[in-house]
Amino acid sequence: MSEKFDAIVIGAGHNGLSAAASLAARGKSVCVLERADHIGGMASDRMAHLLYNPLPRGVQAQTRKIDTVSMSPDGKHVVLRDGIASYASGEAHPDATDFKTLHDRLVTYAALLNSLAESAPPGLDQGLTSLAGLREMSRLAKLGIGVKRLGTPEMREFLRILLTNVYDLLLDEMPDGPLPGALASDAVRGAFAGPRSPGTVLTLMYRLRNGGSVSLPAGGMGTIANAYADAARKAGADIRCGVGVTGVIVEDDVVLGVTTSDGGQLLAPAVLSSAGPMQTMQMAGIPSFDIEAVRRARNLRAKGTTSKLNIALKGRPEFTGLTKEQAKSRLLIAPSVAEVERAFNPAKYGELPSAPSLEMVMPDGQDRLSVIVSHVPLDLKSGWTEKARGTLTETVIAAIEAYAPGLRDQIASTDLLTPADIAQLTGAPGGHWHHAEMGLDQMLTTRPTVGMARYRFGVRGLYLCGASAHPGGDVTGMPGRNSAAQVLLDGVA
């Protein structure tokens, strides 16, 4: 006899866990299957370090809001706190007012867009006659009213900048330097895009839904994953690690359950996959999908661009021009918008960046520097040889050392994860932070692909619940939660 559940969730990343929690909270029996021997997926210390987004309801964890410092080659580092910019020396920043105005405007707009992120993307196929269609329309109308409430000038500004690029947005308001550089690097971190790419204002807003602050989880990213897991368990979900899903059982176009790596099978009328679209198709069998759907999944843009360098230290490095306390902030090396754009160029051609944009933190109480390196290509032309890994590590260390003299002598060891490593370790498509590029062409109704935007994934009972689904990446749990809501709405579980 095979075990039976109301729903099976593939993958115990935060989205899988979030989906499981939502379903379990509604009284459904849920089993989460994780191929690795631990939960969390990409939400682990080795791969991530900061939260850009609020934790969902029900997920409890200690976090600490931290400042951002954008390093300046001339030593006049810029400290950012809640949209207020000043020099690290305490001196006022000449562009602080313009920056604040822009920052607040983006935060306001981002809050409006939040209503879109919180449920399935607006469908286009419901028509106006059905109840579901009316619900859709009322949700869109709510957004419309919110936008309208901004007043005509702000509404026009909203519509103008929504699809534009962060390069122009920033440099229209202030001269180039570490201050706009910081926002530009936030806009493109994790993305296969440079500040000049249209769509980067939207990705920036996506990051600003939390009011523009970043938080350091107490005890590291692993605790966040654990908090998600705790919430799911508390609701009654059964989480099993070390059990991979080898296939989704489909009969007569209906999901019956899954087969597992231990040779068993579990039955459920609903299967939610936090894997990418192509991996999910392969689990359920390519013949179960339409040819166009497979083609779209093949063409999904998911080229990871983010590397992680973990530097174990023998002591705490000192950053010239920063106090010890300031050095505990999120440190950015993004000296100008132009530099961030320049850093993207090599990634386009499968080459290593020579001056990458960096985000680093020293987690509390640890002698460890955690560095996120932007714009590292997945498909390095020369291949990810030891030599290439060494070159990238050296480039990053040299870039940091320019601000922290003597850093090199304090290094105990380094651990580099390239996008290819991340893909291999977590199964994230292309090692992409967001499982699929958050480009304008892969958002909302077209995320992850045309015809697959509402979590339903072809076969009845099969759903996507990972970051490749709307609203997308970062540790938000929202794709998981929205997907679970769709499952409940469809009445399959």
The minimum distance between CB 439 and another protein, in angstroms, equals 6
User: Does 131 sit near another protein (CB under 8 A)?
Assistant: no
Distance in angstroms (rounded) separating the CA atoms of residues 201 and 165: 5
Neighbouring residues of 457: CB distance < 8 A, sequence distance ≥ 6: 273, 277, 280, 284, 463, 464
Stretch that binds another protein, among 19-27, 148-156, 179-187, 215-223 (CB under 8 A): 148-156
Ramachandran category for residue 448: left, alpha or beta (phi over 0 → left; psi -120 to 50 → alpha) = alpha
Q: Which is nearer to another protein, 108 or 282 (CB)?
A: 282
**Contacts with another protein, 422-451, as mask; x by CB under 8 A:** -----------------xxxx--xx---xx
The minimum distance between CB 103 and another protein, in angstroms, equals 18
The minimum distance between CB 419 and another protein, in angstroms, equals 18
User: Does 341 sit near another protein (CB under 8 A)?
Assistant: yes
Distance in angstroms (rounded) separating the CA atoms of residues 13 and 252: 30
Q: Which is nearer to another protein, 14 or 470 (CB)?
A: 470
User: Does 172 sit near another protein (CB under 8 A)?
Assistant: yes
Site for another protein in 198-237 (CB under 8 A): 198-199
Pairing of the two strands 78-81 and 68-70: antiparallel
The minimum distance between CB 442 and another protein, in angstroms, equals 8
Single-letter residue type at 377: P
Stretch that binds another protein, among 107-115, 262-270, 345-353, 409-417 (CB under 8 A): 345-353
User: Does 292 sit near another protein (CB under 8 A)?
Assistant: yes
Residue 374: name the closest of 349, 405, 345, 401 by CA: 345
| CA 105, chain centre distance (Å) | 22
255 and 460 Cβ atoms separated by less than 8 Å:
yes
Q: Which is nearer to another protein, 43 or 278 (CB)?
A: 278
Stretch that binds another protein, among 88-96, 152-160, 212-220, 229-237 (CB under 8 A): 152-160
Helix (H, G, I), strand (E, B) or coil at 17: helix
Q: Which is nearer to another protein, 195 or 217 (CB)?
A: 195
Helix axes 291-298, 277-284, angle to 10 degrees: 140
User: Does 133 sit near another protein (CB under 8 A)?
Assistant: no
Q: Which of 37, 74, 131, 291 binds another protein (CB under 8 A)?
A: 291
Q: How many residues bind another protein (CB under 8 A)?
A: 56
Distance in angstroms (rounded) separating the CA atoms of residues 25 and 56: 14
The minimum distance between CB 398 and another protein, in angstroms, equals 23
The minimum distance between CB 93 and another protein, in angstroms, equals 22
User: Does 122 sit near another protein (CB under 8 A)?
Assistant: no
Site for another protein in 249-278 (CB under 8 A): 252-253
User: Does 125 sit near another protein (CB under 8 A)?
Assistant: yes
Burial class for 85, CB neighbours closer than 10 Å (0-12, 13-18, 19+): buried
Distance in angstroms (rounded) separating the CA atoms of residues 483 and 120: 8
Q: Which is nearer to another protein, 3 or 157 (CB)?
A: 157
Burial class for 8, CB neighbours closer than 10 Å (0-12, 13-18, 19+): buried
The minimum distance between CB 245 and another protein, in angstroms, equals 18
Take residue 296 and report the two structure tokens written for it.
């779209």
Q: Which of 90, 153, 263, 365 binds another protein (CB under 8 A)?
A: 153
Neighbouring residues of 98: CB distance < 8 A, sequence distance ≥ 6: 173, 174
**Contacts with another protein, 293-332, as mask; x by CB under 8 A:** xxx--xx-x-------------------------------
User: Does 357 sit near another protein (CB under 8 A)?
Assistant: no
Q: Which is nearer to another protein, 64 or 156 (CB)?
A: 156
Take residue 278 and report the two structure tokens written for it.
């192509």
Helix (H, G, I), strand (E, B) or coil at 141: helix
User: Does 379 sit near another protein (CB under 8 A)?
Assistant: no
Question: Scanning the structure block, which residue is given the tokens 């967001």?
Answer: 434
| CA 359, chain centre distance (Å) | 15
Bridge partner residues of 332 (DSSP): 70, 359
User: Does 130 sit near another protein (CB under 8 A)?
Assistant: no
**Contacts with another protein, 234-253, as mask; x by CB under 8 A:** ------------------xx
Take residue 91 and report the two structure tokens written for it.
């001196």
Bridge partner residues of 462 (DSSP): 271
Half-sphere exposure of 195 (CA within 13 A, CB side): 24
User: Does 197 sit near another protein (CB under 8 A)?
Assistant: yes
Exposed e or buried b per residue across 102-119, where buried means at least 16 C-beta atoms within 10 angstroms of its C-beta: bbebbbebbebbbebbbb
**Angle at alpha carbon of residue 138, lines to 133 and 144, rounded to 5°:** 125
User: Does 123 sit near another protein (CB under 8 A)?
Assistant: yes
User: Does 74 sit near another protein (CB under 8 A)?
Assistant: no
Q: Which of 82, 262, 290, 394 binds another protein (CB under 8 A)?
A: 290
Q: Which is nearer to another protein, 37 or 251 (CB)?
A: 251
Bridge partner residues of 275 (DSSP): none
* Positions that interact with another protein (CB under 8 A): 123-125, 148, 152-153, 155-157, 159-165, 168, 172, 193, 196-199, 252-253, 281-282, 286-295, 298-299, 301, 341-342, 345, 348-349, 439-442, 445-446, 450-451, 453, 458-459
